[in-house]
Amino acid sequence: MWKQFLSKLPRKSSASGDSGQCSNGTGIQRTTSCGSIPPGRPASAIRRMSSAVFPSSVVAGIEPLVSFKDVPNSEKQNLFVSKLSLCCVVFDFSDPNKSSVEKDIKRQALLDLIEFVESSSSRFSEAAIAACARMCAINLFRAFPPNYRSGSSGGGEGDEDEPMFDPAWCHLQLVYELLLKFIGSSSLDAKVGKKHFDHSFIVKLLNLLDSEDPRERDCLKTILHRVYGKFMVHRPFIRKAVSNIFYQFVFETDRHNGIAELLEVFGSVISGFALPLKEEHKIFLWRVLIPLHKPKSVGSYLQQLTYCVTQFLEKDPKLASSVIIGLLRYWPITNCQKEVMFLSEIEEILESTSQAEFQKCMVPLFRRIAHCITSSHFQVAERALFVWNNDHIISLIAQNRQVIMPLVVPVLEQNIQNHWNQAVLNLTMNVKKMFSEMDEDLFSSCLDKYKEDEEKRASLEVKRKLTWEKLESAAAFQPATGHTAVLVGHQLSANMIATLI
């Protein structure tokens, strides 16, 4: 009976619509920007046109244009494979008018496939799984054109660039949606699926995350998470492959579009780590996540990176000191915008740091914070002083004030005397008052020590100037001959300098 439908046009799905975008409940926004079949064109004409594009092997056996509801259940898997074979034809979307009818036929086939996967209750055959993996590979795995942008300069400045959108997205998004639903379907046997969605498939899928199109990266993020959850046997390989992408980004290219998306996926992965943490996971923290603070474009993915780091600390609070020491190792010296970001992350880490871990890193940490307080860049100084607005950090400081006050009180006095920004001066006065109320005797002792050191420094400076003046005066008596440089003789060096000093 179903053969009578061979010449019928493909149905227009009411779910796709023509309103621009619609949500399909999977996190993928479906757009409808492709052309449609011109009205009034006979079915025979459409089939003649499509026969020039779709090879004969595609339509052999079951006719792929037939609807799933028009075939018996026993033939639906075969029709599924036939439609997948039809969708293996890839079109050129640089010219929107080229093969418009065939493009619409393929689009309708993709919509039919998605609908079938959503409603399927029987297990997918291995032939169907292989055909789906092959179709997705043919449509998705491609080489991106060279990127002629200058690359991100630091602190997320690259975000100002206009995103580049793939003209083939109206088909690509349907392929992504099909892949997402297929992998997440309860009808897919993971033991069979892992043979076709193998390591090679996963690596090529990860390579697509370097796409310039943010819509594609968002789809890939969701699919990667689904693959990680579905195929447990592939999890170690996925972690290793993602680590390699991070290594290449940090130590070689300093350029990748999908770092934020990869970190977002790994935030969920880290939260699922079992306790106690394996050594492999700790190495990922030390060798991957901490060095990811080094690139100048860290601002574009800092939020996701910080979340991954804090997830590790929630799992094992004893890692806090090593994380802070690692951040200090990669602390930016000449990039004030990154310095503000680091201070914000340090504060977030300190909120979950225990007293014992804090004591392991407090000296180098507050030496760095003290240096930031005196920064001539007012945002850096302001952000460093904001640390004292955190109650947990104040508690840690109070319990270790004997060590921290001598490091911080001198720079507070320097700020009061020298800093140009009024907001920084006000914050400095507030922190100084807080220290005074915390331990008045210790604060007075630190202040006296600072004043004594300043007097010694001033005295040494005066003595140094007097010494140079005497040396210059003595050198003036030495005769200058020709164009030679004026040199202090041996007698002056040995006797007079000793007397002057």
Judge contact between 323 and 313, C-beta under 8 A. yes
Distances in whole angstroms, Cα of residue 226 to Cα of each of 213, 220, 222, 230:
20, 10, 6, 6
Position 58 pLDDT exceeds 70: no
Both tokens assigned to 426: 């006000």
More confident residue, 466 or 150: 466
Cβ neighbours of residue 405 closer than 8 Å, sequence gap 6 or more:
435, 439, 442, 443, 446
Judge contact between 462 and 446, C-beta under 8 A. no
The model's pLDDT over 448-463, given as tens digits with 9 standing for 90+, comes to 999 898 889 888 999 9
Position 82 pLDDT exceeds 60: yes
DSSP character string of 207-224:
HGGG-S-HHHHHHHHHHH
The model's pLDDT over 366-395, given as tens digits with 9 standing for 90+, comes to 999 999 999 999 999 999 999 999 999 999
Q: Give the gyration radius of the chain's Cα atoms.
A: 34
Counting every residue written for the chain, the total comes to 501
Q: Number of C-alpha atoms within 13 angstroms, CB side, residue 105? A: 31
Cis peptide preceding 276, ω within 30 of 0: yes
pLDDT (average), residues 276-296: 95
More confident residue, 13 or 47: 47
Which H or E run contains 68? Answer: none
Is 84 part of any domain? yes
| Maximum alpha-carbon separation in the chain | 119
What pLDDT is recorded for position 263? 97
Please provide residue 24's backbone torsions phi and psi, each rounded to the nearest 5 degrees.
-110, 10
Position 408 pLDDT exceeds 70: yes
Kindly report the average pLDDT of the chain as a whole number: 84
The model's pLDDT over 92-126, given as tens digits with 9 standing for 90+, comes to 888 777 878 888 999 999 999 999 999 988 899 99
Position 91 pLDDT exceeds 80: yes
More confident residue, 169 or 99: 169
Beta bridge partners of 420: none
Tell me which residue of 258, 259, 140 sits closest to 210, measured CA to CA: 258
Amino acid in position 70: D
Eight-state DSSP code of residue 57: T
Judge contact between 185 and 26, C-beta under 8 A. no
Looking up tokens 């990266």 gives: 217
Eight-state DSSP code of residue 484: P
The CB density around residue 419, as the number of other CB atoms within 10 Å, is 19
Q: How far apart are CA 338 and CA 325, in angstroms?
A: 17
Is 99 part of any domain? yes
Domain count, the chain: 1
The model's pLDDT over 213-261, given as tens digits with 9 standing for 90+, comes to 999 999 999 999 999 999 999 999 999 999 999 999 999 999 999 999 9
Both tokens assigned to 462: 């005066």
Position 159 pLDDT exceeds 50: no
Query: pLDDT tier at 69 (50, 70, 90 boundaries)?
Result: confident
Is 370 part of any domain? no
Eight-state DSSP code of residue 63: -
Q: How far apart are CA 404 and CA 421, in angstroms?
A: 24
Please provide residue 31's backbone torsions phi and psi, each rounded to the nearest 5 degrees.
-105, 155
Number of H helices, E strands in the chain: 22, 2
Cβ neighbours of residue 346 closer than 8 Å, sequence gap 6 or more:
324, 327, 365, 369, 387
What pLDDT is recorded for position 27? 55
Query: pLDDT tier at 499 (50, 70, 90 boundaries)?
Result: low
Is 308 part of any domain? no
Query: Which residues span the domain enclosing 190?
Result: 67-144+167-230
Q: How far apart are CA 403 and CA 424, in angstroms?
A: 24
Cβ neighbours of residue 359 closer than 8 Å, sequence gap 6 or more:
400
Tell me which residue of 298, 270, 295, 292 sits closest to 282, measured CA to CA: 270
Q: Number of C-alpha atoms within 13 angstroms, CB side, residue 457? A: 6
Burial 166-190 (b: 16+ CB within 10 A, else e): bebbbbbbbbbbbbbbbbbbeebee
Cβ neighbours of residue 389 closer than 8 Å, sequence gap 6 or more:
none
Is 239 part of any domain? no
More confident residue, 344 or 498: 344
Query: pLDDT tier at 8 (50, 70, 90 boundaries)?
Result: very low
The model's pLDDT over 12-46, given as tens digits with 9 standing for 90+, comes to 333 333 333 334 444 565 655 554 444 444 444 44
Is 106 part of any domain? yes
Position 365 pLDDT exceeds 90: yes
Query: pLDDT tier at 151 (50, 70, 90 boundaries)?
Result: very low
The model's pLDDT over 173-209, given as tens digits with 9 standing for 90+, comes to 999 999 999 999 999 999 999 999 999 999 999 999 9
Eight-state DSSP code of residue 7: T
Position 309 pLDDT exceeds 90: yes
Is 498 part of any domain? no
Position 130 pLDDT exceeds 50: yes
Is 91 part of any domain? yes
Distances in whole angstroms, Cα of residue 295 to Cα of each of 79, 178, 322:
50, 36, 20
Cβ neighbours of residue 132 closer than 8 Å, sequence gap 6 or more:
84, 124, 178, 179, 182, 196
Burial 274-307 (b: 16+ CB within 10 A, else e): eeebeeebbebbeebbbbbbebbbbbbbbebbbb
